[in-house]
Amino acid sequence: MVKIIYGRRGSGKTNRMITMAKDEAKNSNGHVVFVEKDNRCMLDLPHEIRYVNASEYIDKDVNIFCGFIQGMIAANFDIVTIFIDALPSITGLSSAAELEAFFGKILAMAEKNNVEFVLSISGNQDDPEPFLKDYII
């Protein structure tokens, strides 16, 4: 399953993700991962949540990022949810076509590995891309 937190910059997407990640870690029998572009939220999350600063491993390359995520899942079969904050900033996705291609890969990973993804994407709340609309929470 894939869920998207979508809205304008500064609308509270990251805080919402942090709250969701904490709740998931409390109520889940598996591991929760929180990926973001820097160390900004590291101290806001409990130690039970695996925190990943993507800038330490990926330099805005979507293919490397997909491989990185697949590697995390392959190394730990107990991962149940992966939160990815500020997705375009981590991956360098800049167009709707690139985002749609990446989104297809994430959907396939979620289904194949039975992992839930929660992504935050900044954009105009009134006009999200059509392929995202069914996944926005």
* Model pLDDT, residue 59: 82
Per DSSP, the residues of 5-35 read EEE-TTSSHHHHHHHHHHHHHHH-SSEEEEE
Contact 14, 122 (CB under 8 A): no
H or E stretch at 99: helix 96-113
Q: What are the beta bridge partners of residue 2?
A: 117
Look at the pTM and tell me if it is higher than 0.85.
Answer: yes
CATH superfamily of 2-125: P-loop containing nucleotide triphosphate hydrolases (3.40.50.300)
Proportion of the chain above pLDDT 70, given as a percent: 100
Q: How far is CA 38 from CA 1, 34, 43, 78, 79, in A?
A: 25, 11, 12, 24, 21
The residue ranges of every structural domain in the chain are 2-125
Give pLDDT < 50 ranges for the chain. Answer: none
